[in-house]
Structures are given as structure tokens and as C-alpha cells.
Amino acid sequence: MAMNRPELERRRLGDTDVSVTALGLGCAPLAGLYTPVEPAVAAATVKAAWDGGIRYFDTAPHYGAGLSEERLGSALCGLPRDTLAVSTKMGRVLVDHEGPWDLWAEPNGKASRFDFSGEGAHESFRESQFRLWTDHIDIALIHDADDHIEQAVSGTYSCLSALRDGGLIGAVGIGMNSTDAAAELLTRGDFDVALIAGRYTLLDQSALDRLYPLCLSRGVSVIAAGVFNSGILADPRPGATFNYTAADTALVERARAIARVCAEHDVPLRAAALQFPAAHPAVASILVGARTPAEVEDALAMFAHPIPEALWHDLKRQGLLSEEAPTP
């Protein structure tokens, strides 16, 4: 039951006044990722997160061409806004588009396209304000700028930095799936936070090499997303996905080996996958996507599940976890 869980810790992002809970809700699934989501279910999912103590919510215009922001904004209406933090992203603008679109199962006549100009960032910021029912964006992230570093710095970052100076944005950061490109972008400005998906998990600790040390040295807080690597660390069966594509046999076997060690200690793999990244000193929050209240409840339960220190020792002893990785 939720009442038996410890309260979620709040952590400040960089040197800003913005704080996030140790577990956050990723709202991409609420926009009909792969399959449609009933609006009432989306609202109930946000409520379940709120009732469970989650006070950090992440979205983006890209998710369902604005649908995620609209549903999150509606669900948060009436809640004490100064007690929660919302992150959204700039680097894409919405354009007219008919028919199906990418991964999103609820077409709304719009699609997103990259635009890292300052004008595009300002347009995206204003439209996000409207969809989220707010005059202030707590966390603004430059979205997927891997192949657009120069324009993202001269355009998007310059705009967001000015909005932060003007008090309309609380924290400025990046939202990416990479390590090298993310590290390069972080060296090009005064960033507060980096949302990095899938690069610090039980299967992929590549962020340890350069990115996380850089974040620590520059005072950039990390939001660790994609901790299940798009599914394989939730259910490592044949056919499971890793980074949104079918995982190869060797990767599935490695995930299953990790799951066996977890089972020996009576710990669900999902619990270990959620709690492992949180031990790194750069990480402020673990972001978990959910599309139903039941998935939120499971994430909260797994995040609070007791894990013996011996589990982490056994993973390292068997070569299934980097020796350098901090553990809870």
C-alpha cells in the first residue's frame, strides 16, 4: 500500500531553485505511444503519481504532437503548482500533418519537425505554456540535438538562457539519448540539468566514461530515463526490445542472467533496474514512463522494494555490472 512507502526524497537541480522528486513520471505514453490511451485513463495515471508522492512530470511537444502536454496540463489543473516541477522540451515545432505519424497512435492533424532556431524555441515555449496551462516552465530541455549542436547552441540555448534570466524558466538543460553528443553540448553553455535516456542502466553504463563525470564537475544534475532500456529490463524474454528495436540473443541472455541473480535475492528485476541508477551521485531523479495507474503503482512499489547489498556484489562478481558503478 502507498501509505507504507517512504516519502520520495526531493533533490535540487544544479544551483537553481527547482527541485524534483527522486522518482518522476514520464508522460510520453499518455500521448498514445504505440496504442491509444483514453483521456480519463491518462488523467487517472497522473493522479496516481500525485497520490504516490511524485512531484516531477516530464513531457514534450514531440509526444503525440502536443497531446502529452495537453493531457498533463489538464490533469495538473487544480493542484498546487508551486509544489511540483514539470519539464518540457524545445527543438521541435508542430506543423500540419494528416494521417498516421511515427509511434503515435492518436493522430491529431499535427506532427513535429526539428527547429533549433531561437525563433522556433520561443514559439515552442509559448505553445507549451498554453498546453500546460502555466505561465512558467520549471525545466526547459533542448530535445535530441545530437546532429544539430551548433544551431542548438546559437538558437535554442540562447533563447532558453534569456528566458531563464527573465524568470520564465527555472532550469535549462538537455534531453538526449546519447553520451558523446550530450557531453559536447553541455560544454557549450551554462546548463543546470541533463535528462539522459538509456545510457546508465543495468545493461548500459556508457555514461560512466565521460558524461556523468562531466556532469559532476560542472554541477549539472542528471535525470536518468529509459532505465528499462525500452522493455528488456522489465521483461527479458525473447523478442524483448532494447532501445526500441528487437534485442539480439546475447543481450537477452545477459538481461536474463541479471534477472537470475535478482531472483536469488528475492528481488524483482524491475526493482533493481529502477534503483541502480539512483545511486550515482550525479543523478537527481529516475524518470519512469507509465500509461495506467497500475503501472505507476508498480513503479512506486519497485522503487521502494528492499534490495540487499549482496545483490550488487554478486552482479559485479559475475561480471554483469561495471566495477566502477556506484550501488545503493
Indicate which residue of 58, 115, 138, 314 is catalytic: 58
* β partners of residue 219: none
Q: Is 56 tagged catalytic?
A: no
CA dist 306 and 285 (Å) reads 18
Of the residues 63, 157, 200, 212, only one is catalytic, namely 63
- Look up residue 216 and give its amino acid: L
Pairing of β 169-176 and β 245-246: unpaired
- Cα gap 220→262, rounded to integer Å: 32
> Residue 168 contacts by C-beta under 8 Å, 6 or more apart in sequence?
125, 135, 136, 137
Contact in structure between 60 and 29 (CB atoms under 8 Å): no
Is 212 among the residues known to form the active site?
A: no
3-class secondary structure per residue, the chain: CHHHCCCCCEEECCCCCCEEECEEEECCHHHCECCCCCHHHHHHHHHHHHHCCCCEEECCCCCCCCHHHHHHHHHHCCCCHHHCEEEEEECEEEEECCCCECCECCCCCEEEEECCCHHHHHHHHHHHHHHHCCCCEEEEEEECCCCCHHHHHHHHHHHHHHHHHCCCEEEEEEEECCCHHHHHHHCCCCCCEEEEECCCCCCCCHHHCCHHHHHHHHCCEEEEECCCHHHCCCCCCCCCEECCEECCHHHHHHHHHHHHHHHHCCCCHHHHHHHCHHHCCCEEEEEEECCCHHHHHHHHHHHHCCCCHHHHHHHHHCCCCCCCCCCC
Amino acid at position 167, single letter? G
Residues with catalytic roles: 58, 63, 89
